[in-house]
Structure 1
Amino acid sequence: MSQTKIRDVALSHFASYGYEGASLSKIAEEVGIKKPTIYSHYKGKNDLFLTAVRYVFQLERRKVLSYFKMAQVKPLKEKLEGFFTMIEEGFNNSYTTKFLLRVSFFPPAALMDEVMTLANSFIDGLHRQLIKLMKYHQKQGEFAGIEIEEAALAYVTMVDGVLVELLFAGNHRFRKRVEAAFPIYWSGIHCMADKIKENRP
């Protein structure tokens, strides 16, 4: 119980103050233990931070899977558009989502390799989920002939790009980028599908 509570309190401190601003003494004080007790559960600040990061990526991965499962009966366009809304709402209302985005773009220099390994694994998982989703819709007659892996990767790239606006410039500019980029992406995918159909003997 103490280990989990330390992790959860540490996560809130890392989310609020960043890696550099978070203090093990303050974390211990909020948990209700002495600072040395933390070292009986974690090797130090780096270990505690990475534990919190791993936990957040697991939480957010479950949210993504849950979103696509709940949206299963919706048209693909609605699912993909709605994913941006899910991200935006998470950023505004969930400190775990906000922490995940911030640490993915601004990892502590000393832990960059470890954090980026986790972030890349998360992105690869999203890519795989999108491939599975798009293949399902392709079987229903959408995107005939389209390379699904490339279509999914293009979508992930677009998500990555607009997230920068959410972090740096806020909701309004994020939404403006989404409203500009997504229709072009969607039209482009369908244009490619139409051309493939036209070129078939």
Structure 2
Amino acid sequence: AQFGNYWDMGWVLTGDDERDLLALTREAFGGGASSWLTVHATQRAWRGDSAGARAAADSAWPLRAAEVAAVPGDAQRQALLGLMLAHAGRSAEAVKAVQAAMTLVNANPQARASLISSYTVYTAARAALAAGDRALAFALLRDARQRHYLANPAWVRLDPSWRSVLQDPGFEQALRGDAGLGTDPTRGGGA
């Protein structure tokens, strides 16, 4: 549960470990259905099970939306909502959630270098990519790297969230933190 839920590390699990993760009940996630479903949706997306990811995300995003409504100033919850909306195939809504998350992150300059802030930006980048907005995803990935998120370039290349763009020059530019990608992370870019 810890590997799947914190820092989104479920992708390192294989075989029996992954089966054990997916067999856990929501009680293993503190009774939180949104976390449990988010882990299921994300794990399935990483493994190429788009139908399973969408089914879990369809159940997760309304729960995430309720959390955002209860705590509207929580950027991390907003980014996770964006990720679930993207996996549910609700791309436009996902991008709006990502933009809202970034507005919240950028409204707090004191938190700019915090681990939670950089994790939120990285999650928003993954959500933007899953929603089909490569330009926004790359801008946010660059931002996460500039905030010194703990995922170094080698980690990011292994993270299956980025599998579809490994050969894209924009991806490599974002990993290096190159400027000039032309997208403001608080506004949507083109896919």
TM-score, length of structure 2 as denominator length: 0.31
The structure whose residues are more often helix, as a share, is 1
The higher radius of gyration belongs to 1
